[in-house]
Structure 1
Amino acid sequence: MTVDLSGAQWFKSTYSQPNADCVEIAHLSTGTVGVRDSKSPGGPALMFSPTEWDSFLRSGIWQD
């Protein structure tokens, strides 16, 4: 699947340090959630359905 990310509004977590390497998230108009590497904003992005993204957030595996 190809998704146009040119108009996506990417953001980092408020827990991120200003100059740290982080992932960025975008809530897309298709309902999916995009995730990309902040060091490579023009590179590939992972796409998650709303159900997948909610499951990830509820899992807590991303927390320290």
Structure 2
Amino acid sequence: MTETPRTPWRTSSYSDAGGNCVQVAELADGTIAIRDSKTPDTATLHFPRTQLTTWLHTLKRA
């Protein structure tokens, strides 16, 4: 990821103790970035806040 997060990367409270961690951070443009903590230098997902909420609700229903 080339952008510097505006907020520090946070580990999801739903991550398990076995190292399966999802981290999120808010970027300077207001979007939310999501990454895998095991491979922080690989690709990240970027969502506007409203689309992230919709995506998460969709995942919960699946």
Q: TM-score if structure 1 supplies the norm length?
A: 0.68
Q: Which residue of 1 aligns with 2:14?
A: 15
**Which is helix-richer, 1 or 2?**
2
Task: Find the aligned partners of 2:17 and 2:61 in 1 and give their Cα distance.
Answer: 18
Higher RCO structure, 1 or 2 (CA under 8 Å, sep 6+): 2
What is the CA distance between 1:28 and its match in structure 2?
A: 1.8
- How high is the sequence identity, in percent, across the aligned residues? 31
Deviations 1:7-56 (A, max 9, x none): 65111211212332222111222110001111111111111112211212
Q: How many residues align?
A: 62
When structure 1 is superposed on structure 2, of 45-54 and 32-41 the one drifting more is 45-54
5+ residue gaps, structure 2:
none
Q: Which residue of 2 aligns with 1:30?
A: 29
5+ residue gaps, structure 1:
none
RMSD: 2.6
Tell me whether 1:42 sits opposite 2:41 in the alignment: yes
Name segments (4+ residues, structure 1) moved above 3 Å.
none
Q: TM-score if structure 2 supplies the norm length?
A: 0.69
